[in-house]
Amino acid sequence: MGRRQRRKAPSVELIRNKRGEAEYFLSKLKQHHDLQQRPEKPPQCEFSYNLNAFLNAARCMGKMIAGKRPNWWGYLGTADRVLHNRIWNMRDETVYEGHTETMVQTNEVPVRPSHHPEGFPFDQSQFGGVTTYAHTHAINLGGKEHDLVELCSQYLEILIRELQSIEARRHRQRNTEPPLETDSRRPLRRRTRLVGSTSPPPAWRSMRSRSSR
């Protein structure tokens, strides 16, 4: 077998596209989180679908950034590096084990006044307000429980910061590129010949006539 060719580093434009993909699925996770304050809630499986998609997009974006700045996560602070490792491990769990474990927390929350439809179960709190039960997902990080959607948002901010650093470096390189070297002492000479003519231009003929004398 031949030697495996080294992959070309991805362009900044491709990394931006992957950022848009991660932002899209993060917005779906946030939407699922906000809809928990309504009596009619989205299926819990939708959270898992969007979480898997976000983890894959974030991991891919991180790999593409590594093509521009190898081992960029090694330069992160302690807290950011711990979050980075956790997110990447969760992505591996979804790919190789089919799922990743989260802690589902159930809390009683007030229902928004504009969402009191009839026929949906909700409770009357001791203060007379209408309440429902919200289900949120959390994971253990650094010995503490953290809201998973918030952690995903924090990790995407880390990736965006790294991408902006790459963009700034590319901008500086473009602005500091030296101009093309030219020799001002030797003017550029261009010779032209009329199409269809076999004789040299008049200036050449005069030079030849003087030299032949």
- Report the distance separating Cα 204 and Cα 199, nearest Å: 9
Sequential DSSP letters for the chain = -PPPPPPPPPPHHHHHHHHHHHHHHHHHHHHHHHGGGSSS---HHHHHHHHHHHHHHHHHHHHHHHHHSTTGGGGS-HHHHHHHHHHHHHHHHHHHTS----EEEEEEEEPPTT---TTS--EE-TTS-EEEEEEEEEEEETTEEEEHHHHHHHHHHHHHHHHHHHHHHHHHHHHTPPPPP--TTS--------TT--SPPHHHHHHHHHHT-
Residue 202 pLDDT grade (very low, low, confident, very high; cuts 50, 70, 90) = low
Higher pLDDT, 88 or 197: 88
So what's the pLDDT on residue 41? 82
What is the average pLDDT across 117-137? Answer: 62
- Domain spans of the chain, in order of start: 12-101+148-172
Provide mean pLDDT across the span 10-30: 96
pLDDT the model gives residue 81: 97
- Find out whether 133 and 106 touch, Cβ atoms under 8 Å: yes
Question: What whole-number distance in Å separates Cα of residue 82 and Cα of residue 91?
Answer: 14
Label residue 202 exposed, middle or buried (CB < 10 Å: 0-12, 13-18, 19+).
Answer: exposed
The CA-CA-CA angle for residues 40, 122, 26, to 5°, reads 35
Q: Tens digit of pLDDT for each residue in 145-198?
A: 999 999 999 999 999 999 999 999 988 888 876 655 555 455 545 555 545 555
Mean per-residue pLDDT, 12-31: 97
Q: What is the mean pLDDT of the chain?
A: 80
The CB density around residue 107, as the number of other CB atoms within 10 Å, is: 11
Phi/psi of residue 146, each to 5°? -130, 145
Higher pLDDT, 199 or 130: 130
